[in-house]
């Protein structure tokens, strides 16, 4: 037992071990604080290391993050505000073509068709990008002018000349001679489409064209050329699931108000709502030696106007009825047709 000093009444008993216990308590507090500080630092360091580099450290239900391979030779690029702005492409414009088209339109309005045609051709030649709106406008304008010349008695030197009917002439013979069609001669000379009557000495205006057709599947366009010059541009529909074949063809027959033979062999007469051929049919026969087995293809009209500009047919080239009727009146049998992607 520890020794105690007695100082009498009113005095305190002094424990000699009290100072020792008090000093030990201070050591305990210091030790606990030190452990807590070291533990806190260790936890922070461990947490930072786990979030940055620990592999496969994912919570239940989460996906393992995909590591991005470092590129030591290239500094990491940080997106800034400018890099997030959309890039506005500067489309090339053709002010000279715009001016020429306006001039051609004015000449056309004034019934100066040959001059309007030459001006529209110049506008088209001044444009080197077929995808531009100026090219499309010039092509459409040129087509309107050409059709006006083609379907009226307007002369066009070098292309549409006066012809005086000789003994023994008849419309189909003249159509074959001038590489045109009977409807074309009738329209240009005010002859009824139901009449084949012409008289000796009668003056006719006949367009002698060098026709060829190109179809672009990717652009959904049919280009009618007279020699190397564009005559008219048409919008078309092509086969769904890439069913329209590419290659070289010729027009082998022409049919007015055609019947349609369904895939099951059933004959669907013209006028039946199930008939998909519209008002005209131009049969295509392949001229490629390795594609002689391609049959049943052609250029025809359609009642489905919203199908134009889309891939909706079973493989044929579809046109609006009014467009295929116009084309039918222009191109004769044996006209070359090239279909390309």
Residues classed as catalytic:
300, 316
Encoded tokens for 30: 């210091």
Residue with tokens 């369904």: 262
Encoded tokens for 34: 């030190």
The helix (run of H) or strand (run of E) holding residue 144 is: helix 133-151
The DSSP-derived string for 58-101 is: --TTPPPPPPPPP-TTSPPP---TGGGSPP-------HHHHHHH
**326 Cβ neighbours under 8 A, 6+ residues apart:** 147, 232
Give dist(CA 98, CA 105) in Å, integer: 11
Give dist(CA 125, CA 60) in Å, integer: 68
**58 Cβ neighbours under 8 A, 6+ residues apart:** 64, 65
Give dist(CA 104, CA 121) in Å, integer: 9
């Amino acid at each position: 037992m520890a020794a105690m000093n007695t100082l009498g009444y009113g005095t305190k008993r002094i424990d000699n071990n009290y100072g020792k216990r008090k000093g030990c308590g201070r050591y305990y507090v210091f030790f606990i604080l030190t452990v807590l500080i070291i533990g806190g630092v260790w936890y922070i360091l461990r947490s930072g290391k786990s979030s940055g580099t620990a592999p496969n450290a994912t919570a239940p239900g989460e996906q393992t993050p995909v590591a991005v391979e470092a590129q030591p030779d290239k500094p990491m690029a940080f997106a800034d505000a400018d890099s997030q702005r959309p890039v506005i492409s500067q489309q090339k414009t053709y002010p000279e073509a715009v001016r020429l088209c306006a001039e051609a339109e004015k000449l056309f309005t004034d019934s100066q068709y040959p001059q309007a045609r030459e001006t529209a051709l110049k506008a088209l030649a001044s444009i080197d990008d077929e995808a531009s709106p100026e090219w499309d406008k010039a092509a459409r304008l040129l087509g309107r002018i050409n059709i006006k010349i083609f379907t009226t008695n307007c002369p066009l030197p070098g292309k549409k000349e006066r012809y005086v009917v000789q003994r023994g002439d008849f419309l189909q013979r003249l159509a074959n001679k001038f590489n045109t069609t009977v409807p074309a001669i009738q329209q240009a000379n005010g002859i009824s489409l139901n009449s084949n009557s012409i008289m000796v000495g009668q003056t006719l205006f006949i367009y002698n064209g060098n026709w060829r057709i190109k179809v672009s599947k990717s652009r959904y366009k049919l280009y009618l050329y007279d020699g190397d010059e564009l005559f008219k541009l048409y919008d078309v529909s092509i086969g769904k699931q890439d069913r329209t074949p590419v290659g070289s063809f010729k027009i082998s027959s022409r049919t007015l108000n055609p019947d349609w033979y369904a895939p099951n062999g059933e004959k669907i007469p013209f006028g039946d709502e199930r008939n998909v051929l519209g008002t005209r049919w131009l049969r295509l026969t392949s001229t490629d030696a390795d594609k002689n087995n391609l049959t049943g293809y052609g250029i025809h009209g359609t009642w489905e106007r919203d199908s134009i500009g889309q891939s909706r047919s079973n493989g044929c080239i579809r046109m609006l009825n009014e467009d295929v009727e116009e084309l039918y009146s222009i191109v004769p049998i044996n006209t070359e047709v090239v279909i390309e992607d």
